[in-house]
Structure 1
């Protein structure tokens, strides 16, 4: 085994173990090497890519398959932390073709990957149940066949796309678990009651994204209802862009008060040294 592969194996073991401890894993979503290093410097234990953050960085609303993979490599090389790759729907409908993205993410340095059941077509946003399960099963087969088994997260996207059906969402998560997914994820859960219901319906670790949830919920409360992983999606990217736009609008209006809120250059130098 090469030194690079040994390093990836170590990251994979660490990432898997972080899902098995009592307290939830906080999994923030950087979008470039700089934000990855800042998060590592704050003591986060693992990172996740964000396809929205990548698209925003590129000045678009969507990022391409290759751009997602390139970003995965950038983040994997930026720090020593494990990285989970947001692969959207695998950029393919066919199970085997979508599953190839898992292998490519691994080749780009990731030790975890997320695959969703959103079709990419908002007129018919969610894959039929059987196809969705087949896609997860194919991704699991690829993940387990890698030189270092990758932690596969299966996502049920109903709640994000106007299908307010928690029952069907849970049915999908249960089927994804049976198909071999390591982590289960239903973005759009808002309340602790919903989260508790989902956690109690499955046996694998559940990821909750706080970008869509009640912001008054604390990490302690998430742990109490059994959530094992907490991400933020594109929220940090959107927060950074809001700060940028607020400052730019103030500058456009001929005022410069925003310079009093700048991060000190010395702190950036310390983080990037």
Structure 2
């Protein structure tokens, strides 16, 4: 039973205006979080919609615009929780990509793509942990960090080579930080596969997204295309009291895509 296992918690979710970040934020509110800090990079309107969903669950939402690639912004995001004197759970969910699905086309990406993706997907997560460290350590139970990595970082597929590489780095960083920050902070990661969110609509027309969704379902042993809500539960579990003895773990939440069989094509 989960019930109100986040009762009174202070939660910070980066990249929470839409998709998985929104689903995580709302789920923590549903489970009793007292304050949910919603970080967004650009879309204030979507972030405000997330805040309304959080408040409908009886929690308080605070919106903080910021780019996690900027250390000063990370510190502002963490400071939004100062009023409670603690952060019980930090979800490093903000992420960016460069869509270049043909990994054999080495000219489709360049050094700037690698640097931008790493600055958000890896450095940004590190900076958020550093900014939130004292508040995570102030939580009554060990503070929990949950990093959103990707199956791309495990098997080397996905939207581009830089994206897969950045997510592999995030998974390794999860191990390093779990070891370094124990016993007062737990650090874990989830590795989603395909998630049916607006993410893909940024690079594809509706027909291609439909084909991708169908292909994702066909490629997984469970024969489903996961939604943000399907994946959010696993992320929230890793921050919940039920996982209090779990740290340094990477949980694949991909409907079995990593097991092989049909490959997921983004073309």
Structure of greater Rg: 1
TM-score (norm 2): 0.39
Q: Higher helix fraction: Structure 1 or Structure 2?
A: 1
